[in-house]
Copies of this chain bind each other. A is one copy, B any other.
Amino acid sequence: MIKMINGGICAAKGFTAGGLHAGIKKDNSQKDLAMIYCEKKCRAAALFTTNKVKAAPILVSKNHLSDDTAQAIIVNSGNANACTGNGLEIAEKMCEITAEALGINKEDVIVASTGVIGQELSAEPFEKSIPVLSKQLGANEQSGNNAVEAIMTTDTFPKQYAAEFELDGKKCTIGAMAKGSGMIHPNMATMLAFITTDVNISHYLLERALCRLNELTFNSISVDGDTSTNDMVCIMSSGLSDNSEIVSVESEDFKGFVAALHEVMTYMAREMARDGEGATKLIECYIWNAPDDLSANSIAKSVISSSLVKAAIGAADANWGRILCAIGYAEGEFDINEVEVTLGSSKGRVTVCKNGTGVLFSEEEATAILSENEVEISIDLHHSANVAARAFGCDLTQEYVRINADYRS
């Protein structure tokens, strides 16, 4: 049984965290520097943006993770540390100061940044604030809250989760924090997400679980089709839960760990989609009975990414022709004449299209269904191969445009 608990990123044994205002964001009521620390060196795995433009912290973190271990994470918001002359120098410096303050090796520090691209950072806020922050780390709820607040940019609420479960008779925990919002599109480890666990697991299986679940969760989100330069998802395991080390992909313990991690990552993915820039609704697109994985995923992502579908759902308008249109330009081999589309929410379900053709439905009922803040688009391809997929998105509103028109000012 997997149980939701409090504590976020600090919930797993061995981990502490904190966050404060270091002076990178102009508004000094806003935190902009977060630290996560583990009392022992962790096994660690991460996935990074596939954008050819990689921010400096991505390059430094990749390098520092080459030995598959890490002990701390330092993250700033307000500046992406990307595409500037001194980027690598600053990212290295952030790791050095963190390592010195915590008494660990700088190669065991993971660094991440999020915010505006192309503006130089100075080392000064880090020199001043990292030592202070390192002394404020805690394992209580407030410490986790401080850390997750410090990585927010246009996020309207913090995203964190923790789950408790048993493996090998031992209590185990996974905690997570993330930031999402704009520049989010399924093409890599999307956005910043940090996951901590006390499960004792081999590095190989830790990485394998992360990669596989990333495809089903973070890589299945689309907010605006823009793949960022700074995206990273990272997991650290302290092994402090005392379960005997998970080493086999066939073991019940591995399945249990994957189930718990899946729950945590799905929760975080849904929260990120829900909080897409300007969004008022979470949209989940389910594909049923597709001929193969490629078709299933490409249709789900095509529908969830369509500006026209997103704008219609935002206005609670059951303009299913746009859904069919977005299915039609997805990759993959499937028969459009078999497509059935159903819209759903807590207010009920209504089928709007069968055999690729519109069916009579109550517009009033459809509007009521689409007026909820969690909406589901179910697409059945009626293929005997029965492949399923899911993607997470949000509606497109005028607010998205307003936010992104003057982001730098």
Contact between B53 and A328, CB atoms less than 8 A apart: yes
Of B116, B118, B305, which contacts A324 at CB under 8 A?
B118
Report B-chain residues with C-beta under 8 Å of the C-beta of A117: 319, 321-322, 324-325
Q: Which of A20-28, A127-135, A199-207, A352-360 contacts B (4 or more CB under 8 A)?
A: A352-360
Instruction: Report A319-367 residues with CB < 8 Å from chain B CB.
Output: 319-322, 324-330, 334, 336, 353, 356-358
Contact between B327 and A53, CB atoms less than 8 A apart: yes
A407 to chain B: closest residue by CB: B319
How many copies make up the complex? 2
Report B-chain residues with C-beta under 8 Å of the C-beta of A317: 405-409
Contact between A84 and B357, CB atoms less than 8 A apart: yes
Of B226, B356, B400, which contacts A83 at CB under 8 A?
B356
- Nearest-Cβ distance from residue A89 to partner chain B, whole angstroms: 13
Number of residues from A at the complex interface, CB < 8 A: 63
Q: Could you list 5 A-B pairs, sorted by A, with CB under 8 Å?
A: A82-B321, A117-B325, A183-B325, A307-B400, A319-B407
The list of the 7 closest CB pairs from A to B, nearest first, reads A117-B321, A53-B328, A315-B405, A311-B404, A398-B398, A118-B321, A51-B328
Known: A85-B357, A229-B325, A308-B404; 12 extra A-B contacts, CB below 8 A, are A53-B325, A53-B336, A85-B358, A117-B319, A224-B308, A225-B305, A226-B307, A226-B325, A311-B401, A312-B404, A319-B408, A398-B398
A residues sitting closer than 8 Å to B (CB atoms) are 50-54, 80, 82-85, 116-120, 182-183, 185, 187, 224-229, 305-308, 311-312, 314-315, 317, 319-322, 324-330, 334, 336, 353, 356-358, 396-398, 400-402, 404-409
